[in-house]
Amino acid sequence: MTFESNYSLKLLNTFGLSVQAEYFARFNSIEELQKLLVEAKRPIMILGGGSNILFTQNLIGSVLKNEIGGIDIIDEDEQTALVQVGGGVKWHDFVIWSINNQLGGIENLSLIPGSVGAAPMQNIGAYGTEIKSVFEHLEAVHIDSLEVRIFNKDDCQFGYRYSIFKGELKGQFVICSVNFRLNKIPKFNTSYGTVENELRAMKVKVNLENISKAIIAIRQRKLPDPKDIGNCGSFFKNPTISNKQYEKLKAQFPQIVGYSIAQDKTKIAAAWLIEKAGWKGYKHNDTGVHQSQALVLVNYGQAKGKDILKLSQNIQTSVQQKFDITLEPEVNII
Ligand code: EPU
């Protein structure tokens, strides 16, 4: 639990970007974190799995890495189990643990990179499930006062790829542990088109393990593994537009992919927009747009964060010009 200086973060961000932290330290408990917070040179940045972050420069101040472990059932009844998970646990390790323990609710979130502590930050979601559906509460430490605070579901203000920790409380709290209510009698959710097809093609019965396997297979086919090609999953959020604008676009582009999400709102597949604007498979030096999923920007080796940022801005401009839609980044740009 000591500070190291000029510490390389290359292996700690899934874009694989070579940046340095002026000071760096790891913590394994709330007490260790509180000690570090007293000493740490400001500004302070908390790092989880580094899978949703684009570093465009070296970091001044301190980077603290959450390595709080532990997965424990702390309460249960006939139908559910309340599970407390350390913020430093890898999200996918927790998913595998839940499947091994026959507890349902997060199997659709298999293979999402990142840590448990970062998961509530942006209410991670995939294949028709978001963590808010199993979230009970979390424990967090205030960076300046060191106060430990409990946030229940309403406090977190979860939305699509959003929580209060990305808004009003940005940069103020460290999420140390998260409690989830998982189901002993799982309710399977295979309605997301590709999941049903995958299970049918696998010719297996629908259970937690097979849903997880199906999702892992889909993700491995479409999303590059950061171990091979640096990336942060979806770079942009899927934008929401008015039905009126959607109808207008649909007349011009009959293939456009959109899902109605409210009476007057349609969510558009950003990947479709980016692909139609001609970017899918684009490569310039070591930056690019993945050839199987246009929403994923990649680092083929020596790209700089600034190059990826520039590429993302060029994509935004061209989507704006072609479709009059503003794409917002999903990753945190530092
Ligand atoms: N599509 C294209 N071109 C592409 C890829 C997809 O046109 O290159 C179209 C397809 O028609 C497809 C639609 O876009 O039906 C949606 O594609 P996909 O199912 O791959 O999902 P997505 O909307 O691109 C979102 C999440 C992913 C999550 C998947 C599955 C966001 C920003 N992304 O992607 O999350 O895994 O759904 O649920 O909401 C992440 O957040 O990092 C992430 C990977």
- Say if ligand 1 is within 6 A of residue 216 CB: no
Helix (H) or strand (E) holding 221: helix 208-222
Atom of ligand 1 nearest to the CA of 236: 32
- Residue after which a domain boundary falls, among 13, 47, 66: 66
In this structure, what is the dihedral angle of CA atoms 144, 69, 48, 190, given to the nearest 10 degrees?
Answer: -130
Residue minimizing CA distance to atom 14 of ligand 1: 269
What gap in Å lies between CA 232 and CA 226, rounded to an integer? 8
Ligand 1, from 160, 272, 275, 315: best to mutate by most atoms within 8 Å of Cβ?
Answer: 272
- Say if ligand 1 is within 6 A of residue 17 CB: no
Q: For position 254, which CATH number holds?
A: 3.90.78.10
Q: Is residue 56 part of a domain?
A: yes
Answer left, alpha or beta for residue 111, where phi above 0 means left and psi between -120 and 50 means alpha: left
- Confidence at residue 12, expressed as pLDDT on a 0 to 100 scale: 97
User: In the structure encoding, which two tokens stand for residue 23, read together?
Assistant: 């000071």
Considering the domain architecture, whether residues 244 and 309 belong to the same structural domain is answered as: yes
Considering the domain architecture, whether residues 253 and 329 belong to the same structural domain is answered as: yes
CA 286 vs. chain centroid, Å, equals: 23
**Known active-site residue 181:** no
Ligand 1, from 121, 231, 295: best to mutate by most atoms within 8 Å of Cβ?
Answer: 295
- The answer to whether 273 touches 325, Cβ cutoff 8 Å, is yes
User: In the structure encoding, which two tokens stand for residue 185, read together?
Assistant: 């009698």
Count the domains in the chain: 3
Report helix, strand or coil for 7: strand
- Confidence at residue 199, expressed as pLDDT on a 0 to 100 scale: 95
pLDDT, tens digit, 9 for 90 and up, residues 44-85: 999 999 999 999 999 999 999 999 999 999 999 999 999 999
Considering the domain architecture, whether residues 274 and 303 belong to the same structural domain is answered as: yes
Weakly modelled stretches of the chain, pLDDT under 50? none
- Residue after which a domain boundary falls, among 118, 149, 183: 183
Considering the domain architecture, whether residues 61 and 75 belong to the same structural domain is answered as: no
- The answer to whether 215 touches 126, Cβ cutoff 8 Å, is yes
- Spatial CA neighbour of 164 closest among 118, 117, 121: 121
Considering the domain architecture, whether residues 325 and 244 belong to the same structural domain is answered as: yes
Considering the domain architecture, whether residues 61 and 84 belong to the same structural domain is answered as: no
- Confidence at residue 1, expressed as pLDDT on a 0 to 100 scale: 72
Amino acid identity of residue 182, one-letter, is L
With 0.85 as the threshold, say if the pTM is over it: yes
Considering the domain architecture, whether residues 159 and 107 belong to the same structural domain is answered as: yes
- Confidence at residue 77, expressed as pLDDT on a 0 to 100 scale: 97
Q: For position 95, which CATH number holds?
A: 3.30.465.10
Paired sense of beta strands 296-299 and 265-268, if any: unpaired
For residue 258, the enclosing domain spans: 230-333
- The answer to whether 20 touches 6, Cβ cutoff 8 Å, is yes
